[in-house]
Copies of this chain bind each other. A is one copy, B any other.
Amino acid sequence: MPKRVERPFAGLVALPNFPVTLLTCAENVMTAVSFHYYSTRPACLQIGVRKDNWTHQLILEHKEFGINLPTADMMDKVKYIGEVSGRVEDKWAATGLTKQRATQIKSVLVAECPVNLECKVVHQVAYEGSHTWFIGRIHAAHVDTSYDKANALLFWMQEFRAMGDVLLKY
């Protein structure tokens, strides 16, 4: 297995595709692949946002966010939402997606997403980089009764992928 020695950034390019989320804060929605869990107890998520995104300013102000998991058949909307800024375009009108009221936060959720998680920011990671990572504690979860993870949407470096087959479950 011959291996090339690459520069550090090429190491990022080589990463596999990660699940993508529609991140909501206040009335805005953006696409984010910089998303993972943070802790199981307490149940916390983390989300990374570039400092020049409008959502960055909104999360600093409102200290909360919604995580909305799109399905693969929403790919075109997810792509559009990731390409334009809510500062200048009404992404809801353009995509036809529907605002869903949350129960524990004031920010809206995306009704068409089968999973919506309401989070309040508990920490902002101090290390400086291209993104600010916010850690949010989950205060409420809404899960479509027919939700199937097989329909999740993955993204990395200009490539959308579907989830693959289950190889092992235990």
- Interface of A toward B, CB cutoff 8 Å: 1-12, 14-19, 34-46, 48, 67, 69, 72, 75, 79, 103, 111-112, 114-117, 122-123, 125-127, 129-131, 133, 135, 137-147, 149, 152-154, 156, 158-170
Contacts and interface: CB of A to CB of B under 8 A. Distances in A.
B170 A166 contact: no
Contacts of A166: 159-161
Contact of A14 (B15, B35, B141): B141
B123 A127 contact: yes
B37 A12 contact: yes
A163 B164 contact: yes
B3 A38 contact: no
Copies in the complex: 2
Nearest to A15: B37
A143 B17 contact: no
Contacts of A165: 161-162, 164
Contacts of A44: 127, 129
B161 A167 contact: yes
